[in-house]
Amino acid sequence: MITHLDLPVILHNEKRGLLTVEDGRLDVLQLSSDGRPPRRLLSSPLRNFLRAYLATSKPDQEQKNRRLDLHSLSQKDRTLRLVKLHVLVEPINVSEAERWVDNIMSASYGSIKPFRRVLLLVNPVGGKGKAKSIVHDAVMPILEAAGCVVDKRETTHRLHAEEIAREIELDYDVIATSSGDGLVYEVINGLAVRSDARRALQIPVAPIPTGSANAVCINLFGVEDTFNIPLSCLNVIKGRRLPIDLCSVLLLPSMTRRFSFLSAATGLMVDLDIGTENLRWMGDARFTVGFLRGIVGNKGSKCRLKLKVVQDDKVEMAREAREQARVRKGTKVVGGGVNPLVNGVKTLGLNGGTSGSGMVQDHGDEVTPISAADPDDDYVPDHGPIHAAKPLDPDSTWLTIESPTSKPTIKPKTNTARSLDTSAALSQNRNDWLDGQSVLYFYAGMMPWAARDLNQWPVAIAGDGLIDVVVQSVVPRLTLVNAITGAAEGEAYWLDSQHYYKVSAIVAENLDKANQPIFTIDGESFPWDSFHIELHRRIANLLSLDGDFYASNFVQKHEKK
């Protein structure tokens, strides 16, 4: 492992300089001839370093200085900006500079493959319609500075990204989506229906947040960095493979099949999402407005749910999620939590620089694809298609929850959210559903956050082979209003009225088709008669800078012994 690297150079002002790498940082120093301490021109953690490139020379220029370009994301407070510096290397130091370039690139990327081949899909009308300019002004300069080979394509109509994903050659290292969650949904569904779907889904997807709903970015980067464009670009460049589960959602009686990476919802959560389409200009705030609007109606969801429950102990599920957070490894990268769709994109600091290939070997990717040795993967050796969907056949071991179509016979509970310590002290499991309660909403998810102000599934674990399900019973409006204050922290998890299960399969039936004609899959609406959900474990991939979802405050808490 490299612990220290120095390279003497000539700076742009003709003064002597030193490039030094130590303790995981690159420092560009301007040396003084009078004994004063050196002046630091650039300091960058190697995690943010993008590229070093030593220009080639022609035979007649061998005795001339060689140009060395350094590209990095400079960090100040929580803000990242692209910086390009160039220095000169004297002929006597060229051999040393070649080794220095190889070594710093190796130290900066480790087992991550540099110069990734990126398919960049851009929805030019996504979010506030600024995606195209953000890609031009911020995204492309960073990807190009890292030496990525980018195939940029703009979508022109709904489901265009799905069409592209169905037809592409599988020679990309990553598929980046500049939009909201909708483009991720389209890409996943395009890859999942291919005859070589299992191989196609090995290509990781990396979202760049230029849409109005960016739940994937919240789960990857956290609430404060959801809209951090440079950070999302760094994820495209250096992110590690994060295997995730997909849900196959079969709609009956049409036998239409869609794939979900995020959520499925009925009741209030449908109104919250689809019912606020006209409020997209508000950004995340539209979901809070939709929730309050839904609380006023408080009309509930007339449905019959059948859940293949694997776990229903809230205290134990919380402990497992927190244990997972404690043992996970990786260094958090911070940046600016600014929404460019609201505040605009600040001018990037670009100080010269050239393009070209860097002097570094291809180290390959750091993650071995799913193997036949894992008995939980339903592995197909030829990387063939995902098996055909069939209606599920629930038996007596499944939990049945039925929301009455008439006035409920059970008085709703009115408690507020409790702490883990209080819950752990209870001797009984209060997660049991009581027949006669009415369902306000059903919400199934595979990532913790649904929105920046809603950590709906706080104990969700990436790729655990389970679907996190919330069934919220109808309660007095004041109870739900009070719960909003802790929703971003996941505290609603402890509500008695919020029934929480980890399941492996779901069947949902509509008992009031006239008044609730649709449900949603990943925020997209579909007609609802009944739907069946089965899970495909770790079959798709995202990119994450530390190989996991962002650890929320909820899972970083340590319960008292």
Please tell me the distance from the alpha carbon of residue 149 to that of residue 161, in angstroms, as a whole number. 19
Please tell me the distance from the alpha carbon of residue 234 to that of residue 228, in angstroms, as a whole number. 10
Instruction: Name beta bridge partners: 505.
Output: 534
- Indicate the length of the chain as a whole number: 561
Q: How is residue 338 written in tokens?
A: 């600014």
CA distances from 356 to 51, 53, 114, 164, 248 (A): 10, 8, 13, 28, 43
SS3 labels along 191-236: HHCCCCHHHHCCCCEEEEECCCCCHHHHHHHCCCCCCCHHHHHHHH
| Under 8 Å between Cβ of 504 and 465 | yes
Instruction: Name beta bridge partners: 256.
Output: 251
The single residue of 181, 271, 284, 453 carrying the catalytic annotation is 181
| DSSP at 368 | P
What region does 146 belong to: left with phi over 0, alpha with psi -120 to 50, or beta? alpha
Task: Please indicate whether residue 181 is annotated as part of the active site.
Answer: yes
Contacts of 395 by beta carbon, 8 Å cutoff, 6+ apart: none
Torsions phi, psi for 186 (to 5 deg) = -65, -45
Please tell me the distance from the alpha carbon of residue 87 to that of residue 13, in angstroms, as a whole number. 9
| Under 8 Å between Cβ of 536 and 377 | no
| Under 8 Å between Cβ of 330 and 535 | no
Q: Give the containing element (helix H, strand E) for 534.
A: strand 530-544
| Number of other residues whose CB lies within 10 A of the CB of residue 130 | 18
**In which residue are the tokens 């209060």 written?**
430
Which stretches of 168-228 are DSSP H helices?
181-192, 197-200, 215-221
Please tell me the distance from the alpha carbon of residue 168 to that of residue 533, in angstroms, as a whole number. 28
Please tell me the distance from the alpha carbon of residue 109 to that of residue 187, in angstroms, as a whole number. 27
List the catalytic residues: 181
